[in-house]
Amino acid sequence: MNVIRLIFLSLVSLYLFSCGKTKDCALCFTPPQELNLKITDYSTGADLIFNHSISPDSIEFYYYQNNSKVTLEHETHLDSTNSRAIIVCWEISWMSPNGIKDFYLYLGNSDTDTLQLDIEERTNDCCTYFEWLDFKINENQMEIDPNDYLYNLRKQTTQN
């Protein structure tokens, strides 16, 4: 009976002293923020997708890997309440931390924009997160619009 008590006490002691020695990192992961983009007229501020100047079907995100074009999935959401369209691309945010920094946005009619996106994977106290370091479109630094939290690609149109 003493042997069973000794084994039981040893197991309890081992359990108690092992608590807090390791960190549970599996529950601490924040995926990268997706790219949320709107495209507006430079002069009027009108949303060029919502007003049908750009067709959502003509939009394409891509990059080149080993001289081959790789297309990224994206979605276009029409927001009738705010008269705007939001382009959402998750994949671009996952590709940048893996070393791909140059992307292209085709809007139809031979209109292609160059996107440079630099996102780094970071770890702090065993928690993994992704930090947006730099985002440019056509060499212009992009900032999030503080009113709707979207990046705004402003385009000069010939309709003005």
DSSP 82-147: TTEEEEEESHHHHHGGGT--EEEEE-STT-EEEEEEEEEEEEETTEEEEEEEEEEETTEEP-B-TT
pLDDT tens-digit series, residues 28-87: 889 999 999 999 999 999 999 999 999 999 999 999 999 999 999 999 999 999 999 999
Residue 131's pLDDT is what? 95
Say if residue 147's pLDDT is above 70.
yes
pLDDT tens-digit series, residues 85-103: 999 999 999 999 999 999 9
Q: Is residue 106 part of a domain?
A: yes
- What's the domain count of the chain? 1
DSSP 20: T
Residue 1's pLDDT is what? 53
Q: Is residue 21 part of a domain?
A: no
Residue 38 Cα distances to 78, 83, 103, 132, angstroms: 11, 11, 17, 18
Task: Tell me the whole-structure pTM to 2 decimals.
Answer: 0.79
pLDDT band at 24 (very low <50, low <70, confident <90, very high): low
Say if residue 11's pLDDT is above 50.
no
In whole angstroms, what is the distance from residue 119 CA to residue 92 CA? 10
Residue 46's domain comprises: 32-155
Q: Is residue 24 part of a domain?
A: no
Query: Which residue type, as a one-letter code, is found at position 43?
Result: S
pLDDT tens-digit series, residues 113-128: 999 999 999 998 889 9
Residue 32's pLDDT is what? 94
